[in-house]
Amino acid sequence: MTDPLVIFTPSGKRGRFAVGTPILSAARKLGVDLDSVCGGRGICSKCQIAPQFGEFPKHGVTSAQTALSDWNTVEERYKSIRGMLDGRRLGCQATVQGDVVIDVPPESQVHKQVVRKEVTARDIIMDPATRLLFVEVDEPDMHEPSGDFERLAAALEAQWETGPITAPLAVLKKLQPTLRKGNWQVTVALHQGHHDQVARVMDIWPGLYEAGLFGLAIDLGSTTIAAHLCDLTDGRVLGSAGVMNPQIRFGEDLMSRVSYVMMNPGGEEEMTRVVREALNRLVVELARDAEIDSAAIVEAVIVCNPVMHHLLLGIDPVELGQAPFALAISGALSLDSHELDLRAMNTSGRIYILPCIAGHVGADCAAVALSEEPGKQDDLTLIVDVGTNAELLLGNRTRVLACSSPTGPAFEGAQISNGQRAAPGAIERVEIDPVTREPRFRVIGCDLWSDDPAFAEATVATGITGICGSGIIEAIAEMRMAGLVDSKGLNGSAEQTGTARMIPEGRTHSYVLHDATATGGQMIAVTQGDIRAIQLAKSALYAGARLLMDEFGAERVDRVVLAGAFGAHISPKHAMVLGMIPDAPLDHVRSAGNAAGTGARIALLNRASRSEIEETVGRITKVETAIAPRFQEHFVNANALPHATDLFPELRKVVTLPDMLFNTSGDGPDGRRRRRRS
Ligand code: FES
């Protein structure tokens, strides 16, 4: 008689097994992804399966109710104490009795998929570097003397085929009491880095440890530090938190922080200390909010720009402030948490820092490349990570180029007269009626437009405090579309534009978006200086993109991806009206949200992705904007709105831009616009 057939879904793997074979053993033999922490001892419940009964013509079997052994006392005890869904069995307890179809639910799969919300994004396959293993260790024997660690290593090899292991002193110190407390049964957190020949025991608990393992994906930006706390078994994000980077007090932007170090020798040590302290506070806060022990956070992946990279590591960043912008190290780093003073996480915790691409293009850009995968696209894709220093990637399957461009902080609301960071009360959306030239706007913290009768009351708490980066972009683009600002970026006067909202300011004019001065409030206007600041920033961004296109030999791009928290809020149409980004069909411009943070999360949850990005970064061609002769030419041409020479045909299919120039010598005597001669 032939052995019964066992078919696993969703993998479709099948094989014949002798009657009495545990389903967990059958799964292991076939390479089916079925989890187990306790090694089949019936105590971890990770191996839960959902047997399917009935006729399965597709598989050519009938799966009878008698196809598995009877429900046993181990399962009954587990279900009564911990609960288990009806119809579920423990794979290590149920044995094969006849042909059977076994479904492995997602939560029982080790390499489960973490579905990303973004439609275009790939899912993450779970394969974390650290996992929990329950193990029974031989007791010491005077006749065969050996160390407790050696017997732990032998047990791990015998029960889990771990290969050779090592352990830091912190673990060795607690090894003996833990083994004895657990009555020679312990759970270890075993870390196997993608380059490690030898796995390392990161922590050890008596008996079966079930409180979980956690990791952090950290995006260490020059302005804010954002971290996601992730469950290392299922990839869930348990919490996210952000704090301001405390280094801001040493300089708003990166170069001013480098200058601070140049002027204050040893200043980098202070900056290193404050950023590490901020990270420790974030760890404590995230663990507290998620109600987990911060010592269960065993890994962190950090992405950051090159200056932050060096300041975090305690490396003097001065070389990054001057040509040839040499990094102390560009490769990926695997470190112990105590090397970075990250005391709040597990004392044996591991830190992985993605590789930097070049002296101006950091590990954050590498993380964007990991998340967005430009090198796997057929379409030529431009990815723009907008920040104080924009980082750009351009590529397709043939090759990928990268550069950075010094946009400055204008896009974040700095250098703007009523500018502010994105916070409640900041104007973030603007529309201007092209006929009446009257604006309406929305502020962060309120869903209503300002022309809604309930708006005033709804914004009492936040007030209307200023204009943030996305707000100023929309305001200027709307002004351009409404004929209030010309293609050279010059504001018209009240006479030229026909609206009293244009008020004189010295020899220039400002457009009043909001005026509450009559009630003791603020006036928020877009000044000529604001427009100049945005022109400089957007010209740098566009020139960087054009330089990459030159290098690629492309006249146009197929797709544009706006990355970064700011990118998530920019309207593609308005960005293109300003000429921030190259012309492309508007429905081919999308936001990728915090792609750098997502890249960090991928690297945290999937070991192979670390090798992948290290290899990818090695193949990315770096283009240095600072020394490129054509940068200046592109920069000057990009000063116009949207551009002096590039025609933006896709944009013009959907937007009409008034073609006029205001009198640059001031208001014309007749107050009329001067038409451009064509
Ligand atoms: Fe742990 Fe089955 S493998 S309960």
Rounded to whole angstroms, the Cα distance separating 156 from 164 reads 9
pLDDT over 90 (residue 104): yes
> 573: domain CATH number?
3.30.420
Taking the CA of residue 42 as reference, the ligand 1 atom at the shortest distance is 4
Last residue of a domain, one of 160, 187, 206: 206
pLDDT (0 to 100) of residue 295: 95
Give dist(CA 309, CA 448) in Å, integer. Answer: 41
Query: Which pLDDT score, from 0 to 100, does residue 667 have?
Result: 44
Handedness of CA 512, 517, 521, 522 (dihedral sign): positive
In a domain, 426, yes or no: yes
Whether 116 maps to a domain, the answer reads no
* pLDDT band for position 639 (cuts 50, 70, 90): very high
Compute, in angstroms, the gap from residue 45 CA to the centroid of ligand 1.
Answer: 5
Position 665 scores a pLDDT of 54
Pick the atom of ligand 1 nearest to 90's CA.
2
Whether pLDDT at 281 is above 50: yes
For ligand 1, what atom is nearest to the CA of residue 45?
4
CA–CA dist 286, 282 (Å, integer): 6
- The Cβ-side half-sphere exposure at 601, using a 13 Å CA radius, reads 28
Q: What is the pLDDT of residue 372?
A: 93
Which has the closest alpha carbon to 174: 160, 162, 189, 164? 189
H or E element, residue 403: strand 400-405
Largest Cα separation within the chain, whole Å, is 109
Q: Which residue has the higher pLDDT, 299 or 321?
A: 299
pLDDT at 404 over 80: yes
Specify burial of residue 678 (Cβ count, 10 A radius: 0-12, 13-18, 19+): exposed
- pLDDT digits 0-9 by tens, 421-470: 778 899 999 999 999 999 999 999 999 999 999 999 999 888 899 999 88
pLDDT confidence of residue 115: 59
How far apart are alpha carbons 138 and 473 in whole angstroms? 68
Whether 188 is covered by a domain: the verdict is yes
Domain co-membership, 551 together with 519: no
Whether the CB-CB separation of 297 and 214 falls below 8 Å is answered with yes
In the block, tokens 């020798």 appear at 265
Task: Report yes or no on 519 lying in a domain.
Answer: yes
Lining ligand 1 with CB less than 6 A are: 24, 36, 38, 40-47, 90-92
Q: Which of 33, 34, 35, 36 to mutate to test the pocket of ligand 1 (most atoms within 8 A of CB)?
A: 36
Does residue 117 belong to any structural domain of this protein?
no
Mapping DSSP to helix (H, G, I), strand (E, B) and coil, where does residue 370 land?
helix
Q: Which residues lie below 8 Å from residue 133, measured CB to CB, with a gap of 6+?
A: 37, 39, 156, 159, 160, 162, 187, 188, 190
pTM: 0.84
| 543/582 Cα distance (integer angstroms) | 10
**pLDDT for res 670:** 39
3-state secondary structure of 428: strand
Pocket test for ligand 1, best of 23, 35, 47 (most atoms within 8 A of CB): 47
CATH code, domain carrying 160:
3.10.20.880
Burial class for 560, CB neighbours closer than 10 Å (0-12, 13-18, 19+) = buried
Which atom of ligand 1 is found nearest the CA of 39?
A: 3
CA of 210 to the centre of ligand 1 (A): 12
User: Is 98 a member of any domain?
Assistant: yes
Q: Which atom of ligand 1 is nearest to the CA of 74?
A: 4
- 148 and 191, same domain (yes or no): yes
Six-digit token pair at 111?
């390499």
CA 358 to ligand 1 centroid distance, Å: 47
CA 320 vs CA 249, 316, 392, 423: distances in Å? 20, 9, 18, 31
State both tokens at 345. Answer: 């996480």
Q: Does residue 495 sit in the same domain as residue 425?
A: yes
* In the block, residue with structure tokens 């030159």: 550
CATH number for 59? 3.10.20.30
- Residue from 32, 34, 38 whose mutation best tests the ligand 1 pocket (most atoms within 8 A of CB): 38
Distance in Å, CA 21 to ligand 1 centroid: 15
Residues 220, 353 within the same domain: yes
**Could you tell me the distance, in angstroms and rounded to a whole number, from the CA of residue 109 to the centre of ligand 1?**
13
| Residue 115 covered by a domain | no
Residue 456: what pLDDT?
Answer: 92
- Tell me, in angstroms, the distance from the centre of ligand 1 to residue 498's CA: 77
Same domain, 58 and 30: yes
Structure tokens at 305: 């720009």
pLDDT score, position 120: 46
- Structurally, the chain folds into a number of domains equal to 5
Tokens of 250: 């040493």
Closest residue CA from atom 3 of ligand 1: 40
Q: Which atom belonging to ligand 1 lies closest to the Cα atom of 48?
A: 2
Together in a domain, 261 and 291 = yes
Residue 668 scores a pLDDT above 70: no
Candidate from 45, 104, 108, 136 with most ligand 1 atoms within 8 A of CB, to mutate: 45
Of 107-116, 306-315, 401-410, 557-566, give the range with the top mean pLDDT: 306-315
Tell me the CATH number at 352. Answer: 3.30.420.480
568: left (phi over 0), alpha (psi -120 to 50) or beta: alpha
Is residue 283 very low, low, confident or very high in pLDDT (cuts 50, 70, 90)? Answer: very high
Verify that 426 and 514 share a domain, yes or no. yes
Q: Is 668 exposed, middle or buried (0-12, 13-18, 19+ CB in 10 A)?
A: middle
- More confident site: 601 or 570: 601
How many angstroms does the Cα of residue 162 sit away from the middle of ligand 1?
18
Helix (H) or strand (E) segment spanning residue 431: strand 426-432
For a pocket test of ligand 1, which of 25, 69, 90, 136 has the largest count of ligand atoms closer than 8 A to its C-beta? 90
Alpha-carbon distance of 338 to 280, in angstroms, equals 11
Q: For 410-527, where are the alpha helices, taking DSSP H only?
A: 455-458, 469-481, 494-497
Q: Which atom of ligand 1 is nearest to the CA of 37?
A: 1
Q: Where are the alpha helices (DSSP H) in 247-404?
A: 254-263, 267-290, 306-313, 363-372
Which range marks the domain in which residue 72 is found?
5-108
Report the atom number in ligand 1 closest to the C-alpha of 91. Answer: 2
Compute the C-alpha angle 61/62/66, nearest 5°: 130
Do 601 and 517 lie in one domain? The reply is no
Is the domain of 234 the same as that of 360? yes
Predicted confidence (pLDDT) at residue 669 exceeds the cutoff of 70: no
Tokens of 583: 């012309």
Q: State the distance from the centre of ligand 1 to the C-alpha of 48, rounded, in angstroms.
A: 8
Does residue 328 surpass a pLDDT of 50?
Answer: yes
Nearest ligand 1 atom to the CA of 93 is 2
CA 20 / ligand 1 centre spacing (Å):
17
Does a structural domain hold residue 653? no
Q: How far is the CA of 93 from the centre of ligand 1 (A)?
A: 8
Are 481 and 608 found together in one domain?
no
**Angstrom distance (rounded) from CA 204 to CA 196:** 20
Q: pLDDT averaged over the chain? A: 91
Dist. CA 194 → ligand 1 center (Å)? 27
Do 260 and 277 belong together in one domain? yes
Identify how many contiguous H helices and E strands the chain contains and give both numbers. Answer: 18, 33
As a three-state string, the secondary structure of 271-304 is HHHHHHHHHHHHHHHHHHHHCCCHHHEEEEEEEE
Q: Which pLDDT score, from 0 to 100, does residue 144 have? A: 85
**How many Å lie between the centroid of ligand 1 and the Cα of residue 49?**
11
Residue 97 Cα to ligand 1 middle (Å): 19
Q: Which atom of ligand 1 is nearest to the CA of 134?
A: 1
CB 187 within 8 A of CB 37: yes
Q: Please tell me the predicted confidence (pLDDT) of residue 116.
A: 53
Lowest mean pLDDT among 146-160, 523-537, 614-628: 614-628
Q: Residue 258 pLDDT more than 50?
A: yes
* Whether residue 234 is found in the same domain as residue 328: yes
